[in-house]
Amino acid sequence: MKKTSLLAWLLVAGTATAALAQQTPEKIKVKHKRGKARTEVTATPTVEAAAPTAPAPADPAQTYAGTITQADLRQHLSVLASDEYEGRETGEKGQKMAAEYIANRFKELGLAGPVPNSDNPYLQHFTMVRSTWADGATLKVGSDSYQWLTDFYAYGGQGFQQATTVQPVFAGYGIEQDGYSDYAALGDVKGKDLLILLGEPQNGQGTALLGKDGQGSKWGQDFRAKLTLAAQKGARSVFFVDFNPNSNFAKQAGRMAPYVSRPSIAFKDAVDGPRPTAYFVSPAVGYKMLGTSAQTLPKYAAAVTKAGQPVTSPFRPVKTTVLAPRKTEDFTTENVLGFLEGTDRKDEIVVLSAHFDHIGIINGEVHNGADDDGSGTVTVLEMAEAFTKAKAEGHGPRRSILFLTVTGEEKGLLGSEYYTDHPIFPLEKTMVDLNTDMVGRTDKDHEGKGDYVYVIGSDKLSSELHTILQAQNQKYTQMDLDFRFNDPEDPNRFYYRSDHYNFAKHNIPVAFFFNGVHADYHGAGDEVEKIEFPKMEKRARLVFYTAWDLANRDQRIVVDSNKK
């Protein structure tokens, strides 16, 4: 991990605004032309004189939380989630327009641009590699050849640039956890090509063997948990077999075609090496690769059910020749940072984060991502306004605050990973990250009920953080705080699926604010008109209240646990 030295940080922080101009910043009214904003970001703003101290409000937190309004949230979101921004896909024009909009707003508010050696001190640029599947992919088992996007397709990794013969290793369901391991009998699988069944083993009652309270486990939720484990084991590739006899694989592959054809991205200077490619094959191809038939595979599954454990398989996987070339190109993308210097505890940093990218245009439809994560992005903008107004009136936070909007979340939490690997401020001085990702809608479990928000991860590293946010909610917002996704057995694994996790990996306490998944998640219907702004306003204020407490308390919160 590359770190900036404390001396370098102090030199950067010394350029931050000592105090804001005496007037309160006006609301943003930046109008964007296509591809270019009318205002330009230049250098870090300076201030001529310290702001006078206004009479202290009876409750400063409540006073400045009141500047976070439905009208302002709507104003910003109506720009960022408009068709003009083309879905804000990482590295594309709309994402760069969004970065410019956010940077302009940070500058207007008087925040410092803390990024050294950048053409724009609000932008942290970095280089990525974009790759797409090339024409001509084929798969051959014995004398039988199979077609791309009819019999098989692939996801991620580098593929096979030349026709390559692999000897698959059958790894059952590809699961490893306490009391159950498909890998125990395999030995070292580094550099090997695994053949893994989709789904998960069942018990005698027909429910998930490894689930909790009759629910499915993370292993059956989708393929990603299995692929992550295979990557940790060093596998070169994974062939996932769909053995459901009722599966219409060709139809499924047709539905997946627009997504498979979309580019994937990775760090140009990745040090961990390429991640394994996931190949998905039809039942017929899977049987052929396993050297078996449609009748034998269900017998294997039944034997696992009976034993409640992996069993020795009768399969003798067949050598398979794969050609799946990829085209690659370099491009740059950027995180957007705004910095507000604190007072007597200014060397400690509170991070308020959200991702401003989304998934772009698919099949000609713009996916505007108003909730995911336009809602979190504009929440950060509104919190930035609230804190800068407080400072302008002489009530600035004791700790410094980094307003961090990141790119590449939809591609694998890449922007936040880059920041935590290349921090502008030392991670040991970073006290907490409050991450806001989807706070504008209602999920099915809360339809017709009162105001709520899911809070995820707040108990993982700091019991104190967990207590603080509950106290702030009790005092001010009185919402239902739903902590169900803190359960380490939660099959959705939301704790690992947004940008806070890259801070948590570095032992920095986090809290993730989330409204849950709805019908328009990653769909073209995630539009501004479906945002419930009254709920969004209250959730944004809760994040602000929590940040206010954290930024102003006497002692840094303790790290006293390390939960899954």
pLDDT at 201 over 60: yes
Closest CA to 563 of 509, 524, 503, 525: 509
Identify the pLDDT of residue 22: 34
Rounded Cα distance between 418 and 440, Å, is 27
Does residue 443 fall inside a structural domain? yes
Look up the CATH number of the domain holding residue 157.
3.50.30.30
Q: Are residues 193 and 99 in the same domain?
A: no
Identify the pLDDT of residue 268: 84
Q: Are residues 267 and 354 in the same domain?
A: no
Does residue 162 fall inside a structural domain? yes
Q: Are residues 238 and 302 in the same domain?
A: yes
Q: Are residues 82 and 184 in the same domain?
A: no
More confident: 265 or 419: 419
φ/ψ of residue 185, rounded to 5: -90, 0
Rounded Cα distance between 328 and 332, Å, is 13
Q: Are residues 346 and 366 in the same domain?
A: yes
Task: Please calculate the CA angle 357-358-361 and round it to the nearest 5 degrees.
Answer: 130
Q: For the sheet with 138-141, list strands across it.
A: 144-147, 138-141, 320-324, 160-166
Q: Which tens digits make up the pLDDT trace of 436-482?
A: 999 999 999 999 999 999 999 999 999 999 999 999 999 999 999 99
pLDDT at 39 over 80: no
> 367: number of CA atoms within 13 Å, CB side?
18
More confident: 88 or 157: 88
323-344 burial, b for 16+ CB within 10 Å, e for fewer?
Answer: bbebeeeeeebbbbbbbbbbee
3-class DSSP assignment, residue 377: helix
Q: Are residues 155 and 288 in the same domain?
A: yes
Q: Are residues 334 and 317 in the same domain?
A: no
Total domains in the fold of the chain: 2
Q: Are residues 512 and 399 in the same domain?
A: yes
Tell me the pLDDT of the chain averaged across its residues.
90
Identify the pLDDT of residue 86: 98
Quote the percentage of the chain above a pLDDT of 90: 78
Identify the pLDDT of residue 13: 38
Domain span at residue 308 reads 135-324
Q: Which tens digits make up the pLDDT trace of 210-251?
A: 988 878 899 998 898 999 999 999 999 999 998 877 788 989
3-class DSSP assignment, residue 469: helix
Identify the pLDDT of residue 1: 33
Task: Indicate the residue among 324, 358, 373 that finishes a domain.
Answer: 324
pLDDT at 142 over 70: yes
Q: Which of 36-50, 127-141, 406-420 has the lowest mean pLDDT?
A: 36-50
Identify the pLDDT of residue 259: 84
Instruction: Return the sign of the alpha-carbon dihedral for residues 145, 147, 151, 154.
Output: positive
Q: How many CB atoms lie within 10 A of CB 63?
A: 16
pLDDT at 44 over 80: no
Across residues 376-393, what is the average pLDDT? 98
Quote the percentage of the chain above a pLDDT of 70: 89
Does residue 242 fall inside a structural domain? yes
Q: Are residues 157 and 209 in the same domain?
A: yes
Does residue 70 fall inside a structural domain? yes
Task: Indicate the residue among 269, 292, 324 that finishes a domain.
Answer: 324
Does residue 47 fall inside a structural domain? no
Q: Are residues 486 and 340 in the same domain?
A: yes
Look up the CATH number of the domain holding residue 117.
3.40.630.10
Q: Which tens digits make up the pLDDT trace of 541-564?
A: 999 999 999 999 999 999 998 887
Does residue 274 fall inside a structural domain? yes
Distances (CA, A) of 482 to 51, 132, 177, 446, 487: 40, 39, 27, 10, 11
Q: Are residues 307 and 350 in the same domain?
A: no
Task: Indicate the residue among 324, 357, 381 that finishes a domain.
Answer: 324
Say which DSSP state 473 is in. I
Does residue 543 fall inside a structural domain? yes
pLDDT at 263 over 90: no
Does residue 24 fall inside a structural domain? no
Please, which pLDDT band fits residue 28 given cuts at 50, 70 and 90?
very low
Identify the pLDDT of residue 53: 56
pLDDT at 191 over 60: yes
**Tokens read off for 549:** 């407490």
Q: Which tens digits make up the pLDDT trace of 503-525?
A: 999 999 999 999 999 999 999 99
Please, which pLDDT band fits residue 271 given cuts at 50, 70 and 90?
low
The one-letter amino acid at 73: L
Q: Are residues 343 and 450 in the same domain?
A: yes
Helix (H) / strand (E) containing 132? strand 123-133
